[in-house]
Structures are given as C-alpha cells and as structure tokens.
A and B are shown apart, each in its own frame.
Chain A
Amino acid sequence: MDHDKSALEEADLVRMAQKGDMASFEELVARYRDKIYARAYSMMRHEEEALDLSQDAWVKGWQRLAQFQGDSSFITWMTRIVINLCLDQLRKQKRQRAESIEAMEEDGGVERRMPVVQSQSHAGLERVELRERIDRALAQLSHEHRTVLVLHEFEELEYKEIAKRMKCSIGTVMSRLFYARRRMASLLAGLKRESSE
C-alpha cells in the first residue's frame, strides 16, 4: 500500500482517484473514514451497521467518482452518500417492522403536551460532558426524530433539502424537528436532574 500520498492535497488525490488510482482513493478513505463512520453511527446507533454502511458508502463513492464535479468538498459529497445509504436502510427496517414504535411516536403527542423547559439545562456543562449527554439523549429518540435532528443540526440542511432526502413533506420535517427538539429538551433536563440527585 502506498503511504506516500499523505502529503498530497485532497484535490490531487481526488483527481488521481478519478483516473483509477486506488492508492489515492485509499488515502482519502484514511483521511475521512472516522467522519463517515460517525455520521452513519449518529443515524443508525448501531456500531456494526454503521461500520458496514460506512464501508458501503466508500464503495459507492469509488463507483461514482466520475460524477464528482467538485461543486462541494469531497467530504460533503461522501457524507451525502452515507446519509442516503442510512436513510435507505432505515426505510427498509421500518418496512420490516410489523408494529413500529416510531409510528406511535410520530404524532409527538407526549412531547407536545410537555411544559416548556424553562432553565438552560445544559448551561455550565463542560463541552465533553455536554457532548456525551447529547449523544445519550439522541440514542433515545426514534429513528425519524433523530435523523431529522442530525440532518438539521449537524449537517445544517434546510427543511426543503431534508424533506427531499427523507422523501416526506416539509410539514412533516417541521413537525418531526419540533417534537425531536422538545424531547431533547426534556431528556437533557432529565439528565441534569439525575446528575444533581
């Protein structure tokens, strides 16, 4: 394996990979594999699944490399691929579930009736601690609510773009985002209470 490529610029590596140089592509994989895996994990919350999907994304990336025009950065382009694979997988899983817990949570009835959390539940927390709490709270959301949050807050996509990717209406995106945030607010407040007891 050629490790001398580590000094090369991303654009050069992409260009060489587009010409069929696998060693350049391997260098790109090495640079961004953690980010791609992290995005898959944030959506799937399952280590093995995230690992498989992240590797599938790289295979797809290689196969579609000719389509990459450089309109966005390479990592943004790759992130879109892994997100789409995760969404496909989540849709497949949802179809397979006879009775979906997500469907019950979809109307967000409980979150809507929750009183507004007044205090800034995360104020004063260390960054690492806050990240851990957010991570734990995210794990408790339904796939739909977590996905919409990940796409909006971490990927910074607009409602329209999220709706396109999740194959639903903008209204559904707004609703899911609202319930997801309210649930996060209550979960983070709950975590705060737990830690102070």
Chain B
Amino acid sequence: MKHDLELKVQAWLDGELPDHEARRIGEWIARDAEASALAAELGCIRQAMLRNETAGTLDESREFYWSKIERQIQREAGIRARRGNTLVCALAEIFGALAGWRAGLRACLWLVVQ
C-alpha cells in the first residue's frame, strides 16, 4: 500500500478527515482487506494507549519539592528587580548627561551672543 494511503487510513481513524473524504475512505477500508487490517492494527494501539498512561508519582516530599520552586521564584524575582534598577540607573545617567549637555550648549550660546 502506498504511504499516502496508509496515512489516510490513520487520519480516518483519528477523525481528521473532512466528512466527504472520511466516507470515501471508510468505504474503501471496508472493501480492502489490507487497509482494513492496517486500520485494525492502528486502532488497536490507539485503544490500548487511551487512558492507559502510567501514573507518575514523585518520591520527594511536598515541602522539599516546593522549596526548590520557591527559591527559584525568589531568585528570578530578585534578578528582575535588579535588572529594573539597572535600567532606571542607566536612564537616569542618560537624562543627566543630556541635561548637562544642554546646559553646556546654552552657556556656549550665551558666550557667543555676548
């Protein structure tokens, strides 16, 4: 079977085909033994996996697990705050320099005019 047809069988099974195509592919699967066997195999795996995920559980205690999260939240909040402060300082320096430059320019102009 061509690969694109295999993918059509799968898409049909997953309900990913538009209605008219789903009908056409469904009819073909019903007629074709190979397509029907493939659909059965894919469907079987799909069914087996559905709601059969192994439930993972953490060995760590609630407190220990949370402590690392809390520390990281606080550390990153600190970094953000420091970044914010650095930005404010940088802006203040820029404005300060601009203000000084303008004052200097004004003084030069005054001297020229005089």
Interface residues of A (CB under 8 A from B): 1, 22, 26, 29-30, 33-34, 37-38, 41-42, 50-51, 55-56, 58-59, 62-63, 112, 116-118, 120-122, 127, 130-132, 134-135, 149, 152-154, 158-159, 171, 174-175, 177-178, 181-182, 184-185, 188
Using A116-B38, A174-B10 as known contacts, say yes or no to A34 and B55 having CB atoms under 8 A apart. Answer: yes
| B48-74 Cβ-contact flags toward A at 8 Å (1 or 0) | 111011111110101101101110110
Could you jot down 21 A-B contacts, CB within 8 Å? A1-B63, A29-B69, A33-B62, A37-B56, A37-B57, A38-B57, A41-B56, A51-B58, A112-B3, A120-B44, A135-B54, A149-B49, A152-B14, A153-B50, A154-B49, A174-B10, A177-B10, A178-B6, A181-B45, A184-B45, A184-B49
Which residues of A have CB within 8 Å of B63? 1
- Closest chain A residue to B8 by CB distance? A174
Contact across chains for A29 and B48 when beta carbons are under 8 A apart:
no
Whether the Cβ atoms of B66 and A29 lie closer than 8 Å is yes
Contact with A along B5-17 (1 / 0, CB 8 A): 0110011001010
Given contacts A117-B41, A134-B49, contact A33 B65 (CB under 8 A): yes
Shortest A125–chain B CB gap in Å is 9
Q: Is B37 part of the contact surface with A, judged by Cβ < 8 Å?
A: yes
Chain A residue nearest in CB terms to B53:
A154
A185:B41 contact, CB within 8 angstroms = yes
Chain A CB within 10 Å, residue with most, of B34, B41, B72:
B41
In the assembled complex, how far is the CB of residue B12 from the closest CB belonging to chain A, in whole angstroms? 12
- Contacts of A120 on B, CB cut-off 8 Å? 44
